[in-house]
Structure 1
Amino acid sequence: MSSKTPSASSPKPPGASGWLAIPAPLARLFKRFPLLTYPPNELPIRSPRARDIATLYVFISDQDALNGLPSFNPSCLKWQTFLKLAGVGFRVIPSNNHASPSGALPFLIPPSSPNSFVASRPIPSTKLEQYATEHGTRKLSEISSLKLEAYEALLDHRIRNAWLYSLYLSRPNSALLSRLYITPVSASHVVKTTILYQLRHAAEAEISRSIGTLVVNSERLYDGAREAFEALSTMLGSGDWFFETPEPSLFDAAVFSYTHLSLDQGLKWEDRRLTEIVGEFSNLVEHRNRILQRCWG
């Protein structure tokens, strides 16, 4: 405690009411400009107004989120589609990897009671299948892991590599890449240039790790994607869903996430090689349309 603390018997200046007294110059100022208490600012329009429904955070534009449209990111669209197929009620909110507790999208915030003071714990994508099983209104088909392994590898490597090249490295699609991932982040030319470099460097590095070489050959990537889609088309055959299941599965949602985005005319692809490859397989196009109709009408 300071040794200069005044004692209780110290005289008070005239007009003082205690240690909270406002200094005279400020008091005169406040008399001329009274303090006003303004109401709190409204939440941004994209922020949830209620917690009675789950919230899925994905890569998506503000307008598309308001309209409940599909995400433009395959990983996000896979889970957005799966939750819809399972009959899980949720809203979508635009987000990015930096806002995710796990460092990656999507993630889901379960609904909570209006009177609850405990925040709901985020659910990462690795646990969304279990969440859908517990909270969905429709039971989707399950597929044995032995059947899935080979076909999931086609999606995770050959098709994903071609997707990464098409969006991130193909120069004709630079405008699309900028519109989806760069322009919403910043208006600064320096910042946008930096983000563009980072995205392209990360995509090239991921492709190189997958194919085991530093040389990225676009023709080989597209040829690999065509072979993968041909294998998927053969396996689907004339059925509605993969593996001849009575209802769609998570794998159907995963395939849809690539076929839909490759065929989506709203994205305005300039380099249309991946679009043309998917278009070669009519049953994959019909599969895409089937899920699009079921989930988005």
Structure 2
Amino acid sequence: MSGAIESSKTRPRAQESSGWFTIPAPLARLFKKFPLLTYPPNELPARSPEIRDVPTLYVFISDEDALKGLPSFNPSCLKWQTFLKLVGIDFCVRSSNNHASPTGALPFLLPPSTPSNPRPQRPVPSSKLEQYGLDNGKSKPPKDLGSRLEAYESLLDHRIRNAWLYTLYLSPANSDLLTDLYIAPTTSSRPVRTTIMYQLRHAAELEILRSTGKDVIDAAALYKGAKEAFIALDAILGNEWLFGSEIPGLFDATLFSYTHLILHDEYYKGVGDPAIDIAGI
């Protein structure tokens, strides 16, 4: 017994080191001749220069319109695009989509970078764009108007938004428009387009039903509600800005994001949908 124990202790250590994680000698020699390399990160696309002296706002917009600095065709994006303009922030716009957004939704903003600080800045999501505008803008919008503002915000967030969602996403007359704006730029695959169309319409339907508390969507009621909302908002319009303010604020930008798209008929030529007249204008 003692001889067996002694022989195991004197066994060469080379045999003890053998196992699943031991690299065979031929492969070890190969790795020595061809060591692993770590390649540098891919460069940014040409349209995203390393040095940006102004912020970049990523929105739903065509590449051609982005180069011209034109308004986005999406109300949520146009709201912040307008607000940043109103507070005096100089920025450029770039075409993007929800999949490219850090939060999964547009818009988002990339702060400027400089030669002294070329590192990429942390994106600013839409939930923090108001504070970004207040901190970096040249003008200060009016202060919070309290409960009165909240009452009128509900008209925008529910009645007008619901009519917009139905018009663009659910109205059969605007199927081609929806495809041109949101689906065609994403993919050329017919099955994928069909899936995206279903997802967009389903999400719009759920949001309208949740907002109205109804089991079914009544298009006529949505348009009537939107028209009543515009009439109520007209009553608080001063000489130039809402609530008689001398300086425009976020609420003005929000209302503009819908009224501009309703009145701007470039996208709607030939559509013939009654929602174009929901404001009675």
> TM-score when scaled to structure 2?
0.83
Asked whether the equivalents of residues 87 and 141 of structure 2 are also in contact (C-alpha less than 8 Å), the reply is yes
Asked whether the equivalents of residues 87 and 137 of structure 1 are also in contact (C-alpha less than 8 Å), the reply is yes
Q: Which runs of 5+ in 2 are unaligned?
A: 1-21, 35-41
Asked whether the equivalents of residues 241 and 252 of structure 1 are also in contact (C-alpha less than 8 Å), the reply is yes
Per-residue CA deviations over 1:86-107 (Å, capped at 9, x if unaligned) read 1101111111112211221111
Matches within 5 A, 1:222-233: 222-233=223-234
Partner of 1:98 in structure 2?
A: 99
Partner of 2:156 in structure 1?
A: 155
CA positional deviation for 1:141: 2.0
Partner of 1:216 in structure 2?
A: 217
Asked whether the equivalents of residues 58 and 92 of structure 1 are also in contact (C-alpha less than 8 Å), the reply is yes
- Are residues 1:64 and 2:85 paired? no
Asked whether the equivalents of residues 227 and 280 of structure 2 are also in contact (C-alpha less than 8 Å), the reply is no
Q: Which runs of 5+ in 1 are unaligned?
A: 9-18, 22-40, 281-297
Q: Distance in 2 between matches of 1:129 and 1:228?
A: 24
Q: Distance in 2 between matches of 1:241 and 1:228?
A: 17
CA positional deviation for 1:275: 2.1
- Structure showing greater radius of gyration is 2
Partner of 1:107 in structure 2?
A: 108
Identity %: 57
Matches within 5 A, 1:180-259: 180-236=181-237, 238-259=238-259
CA positional deviation for 1:75: 0.5
Q: CA RMSD in A?
A: 2.5
Matches within 5 A, 1:1-297: 1-2=22-23, 4=25, 20=33, 44=45, 46-48=47-49, 50-116=51-117, 118-236=119-237, 238-268=238-268, 270-280=271-281
Partner of 1:288 in structure 2?
A: none
Q: Structure 2: which amino acid aligns with 1:171?
A: P
Q: Structure 1: which amino acid aligns with 2:67?
A: L
Partner of 1:28 in structure 2?
A: none
> TM-score when scaled to structure 1?
0.78
Partner of 2:14 in structure 1?
A: none
Asked whether the equivalents of residues 46 and 66 of structure 1 are also in contact (C-alpha less than 8 Å), the reply is no
Partner of 1:36 in structure 2?
A: none
Q: Distance in 2 between matches of 1:84 and 1:165?
A: 29
Q: Distance in 2 between matches of 1:78 and 1:279?
A: 22
